[in-house]
Chain A
Amino acid sequence: MMISSIVRTAIVSLRRDSGALALSFILPVVFFSIFAVIFGGRRDSTPKIKVIVVDEDQSRASERLLQGLKQEGSLVVKTRPEPVKGAEQPEYTATTAETAVKEGAAPVAVIVPRGFGENPIAFGPADASRPTIQLLEDSSDMVAPQMIAGLLQKVAMTSMPDLMAEQGSKYFDQFAGGLTQEQRKRLNDGIRYLRERQESGAGAADSGSGGGIVAVKARAVVGENKNNPMVSFYAAAIGVMFLLFTASGAAGALLDEAESGTLDRVLSSRVTMTSLMLGKLTYNSLLAFSQLVVMFLWGWAVFKLDFWSHIPGFIVMGVCTAVAVAAFGLLLASICHTRAQLGALSTLIILVMSSIGGSMFPRFLMPESMQKAGLFTINAWAIDGFTKVFWRDEPISHLWPQVLVLLCIAISLFAIARQVARRWEYA
């Protein structure tokens, strides 16, 4: 009897606490859905890996390899950058492809060198004189480069069986003393058949196995000198998530002041609502920036993050991120009527934003649709900016998209918060 009374009281209380209800039932479902999508619950949206291919050889073999890669369903092969204002861009070269990988346009670039077609495949030990395919990789993506390396071998097997047979006969000539005329004729017929079959497209989908038949040399072009590759990513990712929590908590001071009557007293002085909110925005921004400083200094001291050589970029991204999260916190506080409401709402929104925006799981590993959804979060833009600074060593001028978006977010959220705060201005 007593136990049921206690249960009944608790149920009634929960039913009237919309924040607790949302945290109990909506947040788990939302989280479950987000992670289900990220980890392949929907197969059709599994992310495709972008790969840049530079064909310096322009031979039949390199063309076959390129075609083979293009036919791989898990790859998006790019041979030239996206058109700019409708104008087609020139094909990638080894240099521009390396820059593109550094800038994050793709995690891997495959450079097929001149002379590759003369000796495309090799059985046996590596031959230093043979032209080698170069794999330029961004080591922050731990999956894509390995996958491409494997696929190159597979494509070599499936897309150029004729070349393989031809190469095989050369090896036979070299090591076994050659073929008779009759044997040579039959082999050539076979190779011709394979070539025709390949050119008609019949053999493209065949699966094959084997390894090391095309010579590939991988080289990290991003993060190759980093002491601890993922620290800068996580310093930004985790940092931004906690910044959001701190900012909404700090902005909650507005609610405390409204409840205690202090806000009324302040607004009866010469302080206007706009100046009060600008003051809160400034304070919350300083607080957020200080948090970032502490976080990155900790990363430098403990995890050898290269902090000191990236100070200007850090300041630019730090300030923009701090102002954006401060405005976000003010908006949440303006919308809510009590601290309890603010706690529930901010937890809900921040956790969802952080999961979609890449604070919990790198965005490049997410499905395409999820990556696009992430662009609606502060986390994604802030993390992208910090990654440009600390991972890709890009100049400050390259930060303009992140700076622009974060400042626009800050201005918009602050403007809305100011509008919502009219309810405190007058009765």
Chain B
Amino acid sequence: MFSPATWTSNSSVPLRIAALVKRFGQVTAVDGITLELRSGECLGLLGPNGAGKSTLIRSIVGRVIADAGTISVFGAPADSMAARSALGWIPQELALYPRLSCRENLQSFGRYHGMGGAALGQAVERCLGWATLTDRAGELVKNLSGGMKRRLNMAAGLIHQPKLVLMDEPTVGVDPQSRNNIFEMIEKLHSEGMSLIYTTHYMEEAERLCDRVAIVDHGKIIALGTNAELVRNAFGSRSQVLARFAGADDRVAAWVKERGGHAVDGSAQFTIEHPTEIGGLLEAAAKAGFELVDVSLRKPNLESVFLHLTGRELRD
């Protein structure tokens, strides 16, 4: 459906980033990132707000000039015309013309990419269909719901049939139903072989959509791999115990820290080698005078990996 437009390239690697550095005054937003995207892959950039994900994306689309390092898009330097044609960028903001209709917005962005005539008409209809907005094609953007605007925002990034799509937190401020629609749209793209980079600070989104995940913190990639690889590298075969105690948060937090665990959202989180260790933990809590509310055992996830690597929660 989204067969990328033909254009000359001298590399089959969609994206190659080497030792990229970008500073804003005293703040180093991107600190020596090296990364390679495989063809047809969906790579997630997972990290908290301010980790440097958006700066990295904006560097790739040529909107930010790096202080050091290189970026090549199918072998072409970032910001070259070849790179611009190959890239589809879906920014975090609703970058649309509010007083234009859905169709007019898509036509405008298509023309900005040099499209015209029947090819543009077909691309507009295809994008409207992908975003399930065909029946709202004539509606002004300012009158659309938040979810519809998000879908149109995504469609506008694909109008010129790019080979590599960069999605910068496309589900920000979207209700669960619309979020699900957006996931389905992305999964459809992915199944058609599109190479994708997807930034998010929602662990569930990265787990559901991405083949590989790069965990980004303070402008650096601190871990990179598949979901399973990241968990295995951080936890091996260990499991996690989550326990909630009634009252006395500060005392609980101090006790959890003393036992080598993390206090997360009022819960105590411990990593254990074997489920039999749970008994010992609960006994110690009881001795310390804490009243147990509930306890559960789970396999570690990306959130656990981030917490394990940084000592902080993803949404901090």
Q: Which of A252-303 contact B (CB under 8 A)?
A: 260-262, 264-271
Structural contact, B97 and A262, CB atoms closer than 8 A: yes
Smallest CB gap from B24: residue in A: A427
How close is B136's CB to chain A, nearest CB, in angstroms?
20
Given contacts A261-B91, A264-B91, A265-B156, is CB(A426)–CB(B96) below 8 Å?
A: no
Question: B92 on the interface (CB 8 Å rule)?
Answer: yes
B64 at the interface (CB under 8 A from A): yes
**Which interface residue of A260, A265, A268, A427 has the most chain B CB atoms within 10 A?**
A268
Chain A residue nearest in CB terms to B85 = A270
B89-126 CB contact bits vs A (8 Å, 1 = yes)? Answer: 10111111110000000000100111000000000000
* CB-nearest residue of chain B to A276: B112
Question: Quick one: given A426-B65, A427-B58, A427-B64, are A269 and B109 in contact (CB under 8 Å)?
Answer: yes
Q: If the complex has contacts A260-B95, A261-B93, A262-B97, are A268 and B62 also in contact, measured as CB distance less than 8 A?
A: yes
Count of B interface residues, CB-CB < 8 Å = 27
Question: Known contacts being A426-B64, A427-B58, A427-B64, is A269 close to B93, with CB within 8 Å?
Answer: no
Kindly list chain A residues whose C-beta atoms are within 8 Å of the C-beta of B87: 268
CB proximity of B197 to chain A, nearest CB, Å: 14
The distance in angstroms between the C-alpha atoms of A234 and B63, with both chains bound, is: 47
User: Max chain A CB contacts within 10 Å: which of B64, B91, B112?
Assistant: B112
Verify A261–B92 contact, CB threshold 8 A: yes
Tell me which residues across on chain A come within 8 A of B61, comparing CB atoms. 268
Q: Chain A residues near B58 (CB, 8 Å)?
A: 264, 427
Give chain A interface residues in 116-157, CB to chain B under 8 Å: none
Cα–Cα distance between A265 and B57 once the two chains are bound (Å): 12
200-233 of chain B: CB within 8 A of chain A: none
- Which of B62, B65, B81, B109 makes the CB contact (< 8 A) with A265? B109
Query: Considering the chains assembled together, what is the distance between the CA atoms of A261 and B170 in angstroms?
Result: 14
User: Bound state CA distance, A276 and B270, in angstroms?
Assistant: 56
| Chain B minimum-CB-distance residue to A271 | B112
Q: Establish whether residues A427 and B63, one from each chain, have CB atoms under 8 Å apart when the complex forms.
A: yes
Question: Which residues of the other chain, A, contact B64 by a CB distance below 8 angstroms?
Answer: 426-427
Which interface residue of A264, A269, A270, A426 has the most chain B CB atoms within 10 A?
Answer: A269
Q: Which residues of A contact B85 (CB under 8 A)?
A: 270
Interface assignment of B84: CB less than 8 Å from any CB of chain A: yes
Give chain A residues whose Cβ lies under 8 Å from the Cβ of B91: 261, 264-265
Contact check, A260 vs B93: say whether CB atoms are below 8 A apart: yes
A427 to B25: give the CA distance in the assembly, Å: 11
Whether the pair A270, B97 counts as a contact (CB closer than 8 A) is: no
Return A150 CB to nearest CB of chain B, in Å: 60
Q: Interface range on chain A: under 10, 10 to 19, 20 to 34, or 35 or more? A: 10 to 19
Task: List A180-209 residues whose CB lies under 8 Å from chain B.
Answer: none
A270 to B63, CA, bound (A): 13
Within the complex, what minimum Cβ distance (angstroms) separates B211 from chain A? Answer: 25
Nearest B residue to A426 via CB reads: B65
Nearest-CB distance from A273 to chain B (Å)? 12
Cβ–Cβ < 8 Å partners of A267 in chain B: 63
B294 to nearest A CB, angstroms? Answer: 44
Distance in angstroms from A181 CB to nearest chain B CB is 99
Q: Which residues of B contact A266 (CB under 8 A)?
A: 109, 112
CB distance A262 to B114 under 8 Å? no
Docked-complex contact A268 and B96, CB < 8 angstroms: no
Specify the chain A residue showing the minimal Cβ separation from B166. A268
* Closest chain A residue to B94, Cβ basis: A260
Q: Is the CB of A270 within 8 A of B95?
A: no
Contacts of B96 in A (CB 8 A): 260, 262
How far, in whole Å, are A267 and B61 apart by their CA atoms in the complex? 9
Q: How far is the CA of A260 from the CA of B100 in the complex (A)?
A: 14
Bound complex: CA of A265 vs CA of B166, how far in Å?
Answer: 12
Asked if B63 contacts A269 (CB within 8 A), the reply is no
Given contacts A270-B84, A426-B63, A427-B63, contact A265 B114 (CB under 8 A): no
Interchain nearest-CB distance for A339 vs B (Å)? 14
Q: Which residue of A lies closest to B156 (CB)?
A: A265
Would you give the 0/1 interface string for A401-427, flagging 1 where the beta carbon is closer than 8 Å to chain B?
000000000000000000000000011
CB under 8 Å from chain A, chain B span 216-275: none
**A271 vs B108: C-alpha distance when bound (angstroms):** 11
The minimal Cβ–Cβ distance linking A282 to chain B, given in whole angstroms, is 15
Residues of chain B contacted by A268 (CB below 8 angstroms)? 61-63, 84, 87, 89
Please give me the residue from chain A that is nearest to B62 by CB atom. A268
Instruction: Say whether A261 contacts B95, CB under 8 Å.
Output: yes
CB within 8 Å of A: which B21-69 residues: 24, 58, 61-65
Q: With A427-B58, A427-B64 given, is the CB distance from A269 to B95 under 8 Å?
A: no
Q: What is the CB-to-nearest-CB distance from A279 to chain B, in angstroms, rounded to a whole number?
A: 10
Evaluate contact between B84 and A261: CB separation under 8 angstroms.
no
Docked-complex contact A270 and B81, CB < 8 angstroms: yes
Q: Give the complex CA separation of A238 and B109 in angstroms.
A: 38
Given B63, B97, B109, which contacts A264 in the complex, CB threshold below 8 Å? B63
Give Cα distance in the complex from A420 to B96, angstroms.
24
Specify which chain A residues have a CB less than 8 angstroms from the CB of B109 in the assembled complex.
Answer: 265-266, 269
Q: Is the CB of B113 within 8 A of A269?
A: yes
Contact B114 A270 (CB under 8 A): yes
Q: Determine the chain A residues whose CB is within 8 A of the CB of B114 once the complex forms.
A: 270
Docked CA distance A262–B156 (Å): 11
Q: How far is the CB of A265 from chain B (nearest CB, A)?
A: 4
| Bound form: Cα–Cα A267–B95 in Å | 12
Q: Mark A230-266, 1 if CB is under 8 A from B, else 0.
A: 0000000000000000000000000000001110111
Q: Are B65 and A269 in contact (CB under 8 A)?
A: no
A261 to B65, CA, bound (A): 17
Q: Known interface pairs A268-B87, A270-B81. Does A262 touch B95 (Cβ–Cβ under 8 Å)?
A: yes
B90 vs chain A, min Cβ distance (A):
9
30 contacts between A and B (CB under 8 A): A260-B94, A260-B96, A260-B98, A261-B91, A261-B93, A262-B95, A262-B97, A264-B58, A264-B93, A264-B95, A265-B89, A265-B91, A265-B95, A265-B109, A265-B157, A267-B63, A268-B61, A268-B63, A268-B87, A268-B89, A269-B84, A269-B109, A269-B113, A270-B81, A270-B85, A270-B112, A271-B112, A426-B63, A426-B64, A427-B63
Q: Which residues of B contact A (CB under 8 A)?
A: 24, 58, 61-65, 81, 84-85, 87, 89, 91-98, 109, 112-114, 156-157, 160
List 17 extra interface pairs beyond A271-B112, A427-B58, CB under 8 A. Answer: A260-B98, A261-B93, A264-B58, A264-B91, A264-B95, A265-B89, A265-B91, A265-B156, A268-B62, A268-B84, A268-B87, A268-B89, A269-B84, A269-B109, A426-B63, A426-B64, A427-B24
A-B CB proximity, top 9 nearest: A261-B93, A269-B112, A261-B95, A265-B95, A262-B95, A268-B61, A427-B64, A426-B65, A269-B113
